[in-house]
Chain A
Amino acid sequence: MAAAVEVSNLVRRYSPVAGITDVTFSAPEAAVTALLGRNGAGKTTTVEICCGLRRADSGTVRVLGLDPATDVAELRARVGVMPQAGGSGASGVYPAVRVEEALRLYSAMYADPLPVDALLEVLDLQRVRRTTWRRLSGGEQQRVSLALALVGRPAVVFLDEPSAGLDVHARHTTWDLVRELRKAGVSIILTTHDLAEASVLADHVVIIDGGRVVATGSPADLTRDASTDGLRFEAPAGLALDSLDTALPDGATAHEVRPGHYAVGPRVDPDVVAAVTAWCAQQGVMADNLTTSGQTLEDVFLSLTAPEAP
């Protein structure tokens, strides 16, 4: 699959300890690529360099084959950007402008924009179309911001935490829209802290930590790890597992991966499941989210981005 975004050995330092030190990844065309990382990992800096909002110290970036630092006009005509909401109070929209006015302003900048009325309807914004930006709720501002990123029919769209602050319905509307974009051939670069969102939307995941890429691949690739096959469940933290180990079939052991999250392995079969559920009943605890699949994206993320011990 061709790449919509190619980033190689990107470096942008703000200080000896902040910034990005080595970011390399490729985002396929007509796919959702999720950039994951802790706060300050370098996700937003990477996206800002890809959008031409910031210069890199070194490394190369190509978006649709164009260099964001030099091919500015060509790129801006084909890229949509939804910045992170609320950073230092910077919303990116005139506070006194009405929703429809903002959308019509942005749509006037493109040759064949999306119809504003239809976009307002899809994002459930008709009710507030004459409301000024400053009077919108946080969720409404997020949806308007998404609409502004999409109104120009971009070929690549950068969405920085698009569902932050949205209610459940609005979040699902946003996810549906992202899927529709992918189906229409748009390449989506999604920055998110919501690993469930990344799991359900992303075709490709890039995990950044401490300013460098620590893992890339599809969610299935990243969570497929033979060493972690087994049974997993959630229960109150700190359960004494000696009696469970005794109850388990030969060779199987249990351990608490992190507080309240338990794993039993190295293999799983009906006897292991029966032993675990029986033991939980005996202890008077509920085994929540009991699953026999491998690790989740959250498990992978936590293991790759664990803070260093002091």
Chain B
Amino acid sequence: MTTLDLTPGTGAAPRRHTLAAQGRMELRLILRNGEQLLLTLIIPITLLLLFSKAPIADVPKPRVDFLMPGMLGLAVMSTAFTGQAIGTGFERRYGVLRRLSTTPLSRPALLGAKTTAIVLVETLQTAVLCAVGAALGWDPTGSAVPVIGLLLLGTACFSSLGLLMAGTLRAEATLAGANLLYLVQLGLGGVAFPLTDFSGGVRRLLELLPLGAMSDGLRHVLNQGAGVPLHDWATLTVWTAAALVAASRWFRWD
């Protein structure tokens, strides 16, 4: 039998090592998950191809220019909210978070690792979607800075909402709820159908959804070369702050 020197060690590794190791694990698990791949890439690309080529809905032309901002928002939501909520919900259910909490990996480091993995996946999604959009004739205008700002704020917002759901509901309820909200926001978040199709009161309500605000803001920049309307920043900021406070208050690790 191989002999092991079991003498007690000197303690924890430097924090950046634990963060990097956990980040790699989070990324590996996202990319290994087939259902996650469906949400993050296949559905947005399929919808983009379908809605830009087939006259399914009455959207402003060129169709791809209208669709791309919403698809970028949808991609962020699928990774930061739906994928994260389901993944974290089942990590709670399997006791993964509880066991990790007995190791030197701190909670902020765990959240940092999750965020890093999400941002990396979103970068990949954005690159693939932009390439498909370009192939379909997408011609964006405007500055990249507010676009990146909106994508990051949207990530923070959806991530907080995802953790709130995963940390308070049972894994099965999170699975059902996260998928339902994905579908609702896909239909009513200004992704494939313009919010102007809805009557005034309903439209104003839908503009207050995180994905509605994000799609609207991205569309102002990418389609019109304008800045992001203040109400879109405000909507996303309020959702993010509220979800962060609620998640910090009610998130259960086991």
Residues of chain A whose beta carbon lies under 8 Å from any beta carbon of chain B = 51-53, 73-74, 76-81, 83, 87, 89-97, 101, 104-106, 108-115, 118-119, 121-122, 148, 150, 152-155, 176, 180-181, 183-186
Contact = CB atoms under 8 A, between A and B. Distances in A.
A101 B12 contact: no
B55 interface: no
Main secondary structure of the interface of B (DSSP, over half): loop
10 contacts: A91-B95, A93-B94, A96-B29, A105-B22, A108-B17, A110-B9, A110-B11, A110-B13, A114-B4, A115-B4
Given A53-B102, A97-B25, A109-B105, A185 B8 contact: yes
A109 B9 contact: no
B9 A112 contact: yes
Contacts of A153: 6-9
A154 to B, nearest CB: 6
Given A108-B21, A185-B7, A93 B13 contact: no
Contacts, number: 127
Contact of B96 (A76, A93, A155): A93
A94 B94 contact: yes
Contacts of A92: 94-96, 98-99
B15 to A, nearest CB: 10
A178 to B, nearest CB: 10
Interface of B: 1-2, 4-13, 17-18, 20-22, 25, 28-29, 32-33, 91, 93-96, 98-99, 101-106, 254
A113 B1 CA distance: 19
Given A90-B93, A97-B25, 9 more contacts: A53-B98, A73-B12, A96-B33, A101-B28, A104-B21, A105-B21, A108-B18, A121-B2, A186-B8
Nearest to A76: B104
Nearest to A115: B4
A51 B101 CA distance: 10
Contacts of A154: 8-9
A94 to B, nearest CB: 6
Contacts of A74: 11
Contacts of A97: 25, 29
B166 to A, nearest CB: 15
Given A109-B105, A152-B103, A94 B91 contact: yes
Contact of B9 (A51, A91, A152, A183): A152
A184 B103 contact: no
Nearest to A152: B9
Contact of A76 (B12, B20, B21): B12
A53 B104 contact: no
A122 B12 contact: no
A154 B12 CA distance: 10
A83 B5 contact: no
B8 A77 contact: no
Contacts of B95: 83, 87, 90-92
B8 A78 contact: yes
Contacts of B254: 53, 90
A77 B11 contact: yes
B214 to A, nearest CB: 30
A79 B11 contact: no
B25 A105 contact: yes
B4 A122 contact: yes
Contacts of B9: 78, 110-113, 152-154
A183 B33 CA distance: 43
Contact of B103 (A104, A106, A114, A185): A106
